[in-house]
């Protein structure tokens, strides 16, 4: 299984951080690979909500990466599962109170299948780059 994780502390309340993360329409503000995103079904941030997104793929080609919210515990835990696209990782944001703010742990897990197993190191690099964007999330939320 491919796994990536990163953690940072943001000088905002767990409720503020959760609200920002739960609304997928905020993704372009901090995730550089998101070209376009819309709410496909459900209410923003609610369990079962599905977001349709276009991501920058290999060679700059657009790829789909739609995801569904699979866990929604405001201020504490937000989980998602990618439901469309070539790679379908599960991810989670775990939030905990920290002095002056919120510690955010962002994890991604993927069980490569078929030909994807051959490009395992590339997948792990991509996942590591994705979770590393927590630094940008911190900057966006602390400057708001």
SS3 state of residue 144: coil
Higher pLDDT, residue 62 or 126 = 62
The three-point CA angle 52-58-63 to 5° equals 20
Q: Which helix (H) or strand (E) holds 90?
A: strand 90-98
Q: What is the pLDDT of residues 39-95, one digit of tens each?
A: 999 999 899 999 999 999 888 899 999 999 999 999 999 999 999 988 899 999 999
Per-residue pLDDT at 112: 75
Per-residue pLDDT at 85: 87
Per-residue pLDDT at 144: 81
**Which residue segment(s) compose the domain that 26 sits in?**
2-143
Q: Which helix (H) or strand (E) holds 118?
A: none
> 87 Cβ partners below 8 Å, 6+ apart?
65, 110, 116, 123, 126
Number of domains in the chain: 1
Q: Which CATH number does the domain housing residue 71 bear? A: 3.30.530.20
Per-residue pLDDT at 118: 61
């Amino acid at each position: 299984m491919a796994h990536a994780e990163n953690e940072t502390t943001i000088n905002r309340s767990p409720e503020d951080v959760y609200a920002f993360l739960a609304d997928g329409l905020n993704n372009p503000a901090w995730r550089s690979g998101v070209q376009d995103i819309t709410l496909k079904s459900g209410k923003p941030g609610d369990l079962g909500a599905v977001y349709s997104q276009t991501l920058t793929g290999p060679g700059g080609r657009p790829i789909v990466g739609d995801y569904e919210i699979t866990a929604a515990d405001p201020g504490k835990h937000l989980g998602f599962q990618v439901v469309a696209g070539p790679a379908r990782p599960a991810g989670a944001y775990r939030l905990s109170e920290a002095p002056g703010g919120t510690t955010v742990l962002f994890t991604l897990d993927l069980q490569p299948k078929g030909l994807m197993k051959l490009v395992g190191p590339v997948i792990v690099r991509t996942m590591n780059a994705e979770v590393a964007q927590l630094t940008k999330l911190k900057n966006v939320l602390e400057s708001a």
